[in-house]
Structure 1
Amino acid sequence: MVRRMPPTETVRMALTTLRSNRLRSLLTMLGIVIGNASVITLVGVGRGAQELVKEQLSSLGANVLFVVPGNGDTRRRGTVLPKTLVIEDAAAIEEQVPSVKRVAPQITSSQVVQAGARSATSSISGVTANFVPVRSFEIASGRFINNEDEKSARAVVALGPDLKTKLFPTGDALGRQVRIGSQAFEVIGIMASKGAVFGSNQDENAYIPLSTMVNRFTGRDPTYGISLSFISVEARNDSSTGAAKFQITNLLRQRHRILRDDDFAVRSQKDALTIVGTITGGLTLMLAAIGGISLLVGGIGIMNIMLVSVSERTAEIGLRKSLGARSSHILQQFLVESLVLSSLGGVFGTAVGLGAVGLMAAVTPLPANIGMNTVFVTVGLSGSIGLFFGVLPARRAAHLDPIVALRSL
């Protein structure tokens, strides 16, 4: 009666065989290592990008809606946006929409800012005192624009921290004079760092009173009045954001006498997060699929090497069968060898991938974001690939005729 081979003995024999061909085993595992490392790294990049965009959107302010001129078609075509939002629209939203807490109209313009011999091209925003609480900005030193600055159209400016460093790299900027275009302004405040949103560094911006922006730079259109770049609106709370969006849309449709297509759009953080989640989720899935191709190639490499191993070990297989080994024993041994190669490659590849994600987080703005579920799934997938691609060589070895195999001795 043939003795049943215990699983531990099968594993021991498989490890002994792999150790006897260390270089071949390492090279065979390399494909799985690269595949696993690719999956972990690329998924980490995708998730890191998703988290970064979410953080940037959150920095725009809590419960904030953005009312922008033009509809989706005009923005997608990249045409000059129509002057469809005016200062009276912002006042009407603040006065007539009950779910709105504060409104911050804004006009933006690109200007050269100078301080002595230093200069920088910056985005200049004409804003009101509501800008800071609505957009969740903070003041690092000095003060921000107040209602008196707005009423008197004073020539005062608050600088972003990066812009301040460019213009005044060593000294204090408060109370100093800068020139915006050809106009002189007094620096009254330095903003706290806010970071970048969609590639635009908000720390390089400058802020002046909205009335000053109109009087000195943009002017008043004789037909439309004071046209706005956009309006930031803070809802009373998170649950009232949807109601605020609905009410603002209806109010502006009435004010603009719209019968068909809107000439404005109201966007919320939730809308942006939904769009970003869809895009980055698809990107992450695509990157994982690219890494999965590397795993597939690694599996094919294991199958090729195992087929070569079957040819080289024909005599060994024949000898074992003649001594009483069953086909199932041979099948198990070759499957275990494939599983060990793919599993070890998966573990090493995961370690390499996690290291790459950590390095990425250290040298780029992308945060390290890779869940343990992804790690377990990837390692399990690499082991499954080893089993799948090891079946053909194992079946070929198990079905060798022992008499034919022994002739190779």
Structure 2
Amino acid sequence: MDLVESVKMASATLVSNKLRSTLTMLGIVIGNASVIAMVGIGQGAQNLAEEQFESLGPNILFIVPGSQEERNTTFDLPKTLVLADAEAIASQVPAVAEVAPQISMNQVLSYRDRNTSNLVVGTTPEFLSVRSFNVDRGRFVNELDLKRNTRVAILGSEIAEKLFDSSDPLGQRIRIKNVSFEVVGIMESKGSFLGTNQDEFVFVPLTTMSNQLVGRTSPYGVEVSWINVSAKDEDSVGAAQFQIENLLRLRHKITGSDDFGVQTQKDILTIVGTVTSGLTAMLAAIAGISLLVGGIGVMNIMLVSVTERTQEIGLRKAIGAKEKDILLQFLIEAAILSATGGLIGTLLGLGGIGFVGLVSPLKAGISPIAIVVAVTVSGGIGLIFGVFPARRAAKLDPIVALRTA
């Protein structure tokens, strides 16, 4: 019997048992769809994180407190960065363009009968250019505010809408930690950054934040949460990092490990890429288990099929069919089931990726490699798990098979 005839017979057998064939394919369909969708969503998360960091600009550096070990093991970082460090960097590091220290802390905000807890950021005028923020209406923190410890606040677009609805917030007074602040500006919408909604930030002068909201928390001066720095250009980032590290080591009299860290956009992108790639691989591996389950389903149903078709197998062997003909037909049936299930699962996976892209900010990517691998693996699994029932069918003795039937 030639290959074409075997394919026709296998196809006719599967079509005549639609329910059984459909249930057999179901595990392969779910497995393929899961693998492709999970890989696509994982790549979407990685793309989103990379876009958000790239939006900061290639020249930005972040100086964070604490040693590498402390940053990896605790959320309560030591108070090792102060305002004087930021001022020294601005005046003594030639590769730096601007410096914007900040103090960040969640505080209770209230306006009339409305209360909410949001991140309050105490910072300086340079924050706008260093972090690429823009003011929509009103103004931002200025040098006079810093000198006078002025109680002024600039609201993110969403927190302004949450507190004031459709009324104009400019000139109104809100309370932050029971301290009255005048709203002097509204920020342009910025969106989320690594899961944090930047449109719900409230900005105040750094000195006001330190003296009236946080209080002195470091014996060495005004403690800052971290320092935002922009290098003069992209080529100066490495030089800026080197110069900042040397300056802070001298200022902090460090002889052992650093009590601070200087991270560039490229460093953070590398870390984020490693994490998201690991998560994507883990999701794909978990989803791939369903492919294995699907293969077991193929073997199970094929074994049942061999039992049900004992008479057919015995009759075919009695009229001259060889073992390889029987083996080939059952293998082709398993391959058709796996390939069809793989195709349907691929279409469902691609549809799932498109749906996620519509309803979420994730720009889920379609991975040709994941599609090829999933379809190949599902087809291979079908063939591998189809070998045992196919061999069992091929080894049936025709006389025994006809008697059994």
Q: Shorter chain as normaliser: what TM range?
A: over 0.9
Q: Quote the offset at 1:189 in angstroms.
A: 1.6
Runs ≥4 residues deviating over 4 A: 219-222
Supply the AA of the counterpart residue of 2:173: Q
2: distance between equivalents of 1:300 and 1:79? 46
Q: Which moved more, 1:178-187 or 1:277-286?
A: 178-187
Q: Quote the Cα distance in structure 2 between the aligned partners of 1:221 and 1:187.
A: 27
What secondary structure sits across from 2:255 in the alignment? coil
- Contact 1:107–1:127 under 8 Å retained in 2: yes
C-alpha distance in 1 between matches for 2:310 and 2:359: 52
Corresponding residue of 1:379: 375
Q: What amino acid does structure 2 have at the position aligned with 1:255?
A: R
Give the distance between the partners of 1:321 and 1:78, measured in 2 at CA: 72
Give, in whole Å, the separation in 2 of the partners of 1:208 and 1:342.
62
CA–CA distance in 2 between the matches of 1:407 and 1:214? Answer: 93
Q: How far did residue 319 of structure 1 move?
A: 2.2
What does residue range 4-403 of structure 1 map to in structure 2 within 5 Å? 5-78=1-74, 80-220=76-216, 223-403=219-399
The CA deviation string for residues 314-341 of structure 1, in whole angstroms up to 9 with x for no partner, is 2222322333333222222111100111
Q: Distance in 1 between matches of 2:334 and 2:161?
A: 59
Q: What CA distance in whole angstroms lies between the structure 1 residues aligned with 2:280 and 2:73? A: 27
Q: Normalization by structure 1: what TM-score?
A: 0.91
User: Cα gap change, 1:298/1:81 in structure 2, threshold over 3 Å: closer, same or farther?
Assistant: closer
Distance change in 2, residues 1:110/1:282 (3 Å): closer
CA contact (8 A) 2:79 2:218 kept: no
- CA contact 1:60–1:136 (8 Å) conserved in 2: yes
CA contact (8 A) 1:137 1:192 kept: yes
Contact 2:35 2:370 in 1 (8 A): no
Which 10-residue stretch deviates more, 22-31 or 44-53? 44-53
Q: Deviation string for 1:297-319 (max 9, x for gaps)?
A: 11111112112212222222232
Cα displacement string for residues 86-133 of structure 1 (whole angstroms, at most 9, x for unaligned residues): 222112212222222211111223322222332322222111111011
Matches of 1:407 and 1:120 in 2, distance apart?
81
CA distance in 2, matches of 1:38, 1:110: 39
Which deviates more, 185-194 or 47-56? 47-56
Any stretches of 5+ residues in structure 2 without a counterpart?
A: none
List gaps (5 residues or longer) in structure 1: none
* Superposition CA RMSD, Å: 2.2
**Alignment partners' CA distance in 1, 2:303 and 2:321:** 20
Bigger drift between 317-326 and 128-137 goes to 317-326
- Asked whether the 8 Å contact 1:104–1:130 carries over to 2, the reply is yes
Q: Percent identity?
A: 56
Distance 1:251 1:50, change over 3 A: same
Deviations 1:245-295 (A, max 9, x none): 222111100111100121111122222222222222121111111111111
Taking the aligned partners of 1:219 and 1:291, their CA distance within structure 2 comes to: 51
How many residue pairs align between the two structures? Answer: 405
- For residues 293 and 97 of structure 1, do their structure 2 counterparts lie closer, same or farther at Cα, with a shift above 3 Å needed? same
Match for 2:356: what amino acid?
M
- 223 and 17 in structure 1: CA distance in 2 versus 1, 3 angstrom threshold: closer
Larger mean CA deviation between 204-213 and 56-65 belongs to: 56-65
Whether contact under 8 Å (2:108, 2:177) holds in the other structure is yes
Q: Which amino acid aligns with 2:316?
A: R
**CA–CA distance in 1 between the matches of 2:120 and 2:289?**
48
| 1:407 alignment partner, SS class | helix
Tell me how far 1:373 sits from its aligned partner.
2.5
Deviation of the 1:63 alpha carbon: 2.4
